[in-house]
Amino acid sequence: MTNVRKGDTVVVLAGKDRGKRGTVERIEKTKRGLGVVIPGVNMARKHQRARQRTQQGGILDLPVPLHVSNVQVVCPRCNKPTRVGHTQLEDGRRVRVCKHCGEQIEVTSR
């Protein structure tokens, strides 16, 4: 069970975009482990050649994956970056909880 999931609000801890908040768009497997893609954070420029007469070439800004260790989940209740704990409910499900307030962390949109 991972600490960061698609749809979580996270804050960037390291790098050129330190302090920015965003929602995780997707999680990718990279050479260095797991990476998270956050729209508008860690943008890279790609030079695209025109492939057909209808497709125009140009310079595109694309979000590049950040390593999962460089982001921290923001608790929806206390609105603070927090470490994530895991606990087991009475019905046997394992859920993520905030280490500050103990509230269950739910993914808002999947």
Confirm whether 58 is domain-assigned. yes
Element (H, E) at 71: strand 71-73
pLDDT for 108 equals: 57
Helix (H, G, I), strand (E, B) or coil at 17: coil
pLDDT score for 107? 66
Q: Is residue 52 part of a domain?
A: yes
**Can you give the pTM of this predicted structure?**
0.80
SS3 of the chain: the string is CCCCCCCCEEEECCCCCCCCEEECCEEEEECCEEEEECCCCCEEEEEECCCCCCCCCEEEEEECCEEHHHEEEECCCCCCECCEEEEECCCCCEEEEECCCCCECCCCCC
- Residue 50, in any domain of the structure: yes
Residue 106 has a pLDDT of 78
- Answer yes or no: is pLDDT of 19 > 90: yes
Token pair, residue 77, equals: 């209740």
Domain for residue 13, yes or no? yes
In which domain, by residue range, is 67 found? 9-81
Answer whether residue 110 shows pLDDT above 50. no
Is residue 91 in a domain?
no
Tens of pLDDT along 26-75?
999 988 889 999 999 999 999 998 888 788 889 999 999 999 999 999 99
Q: How many domains in the chain?
A: 1
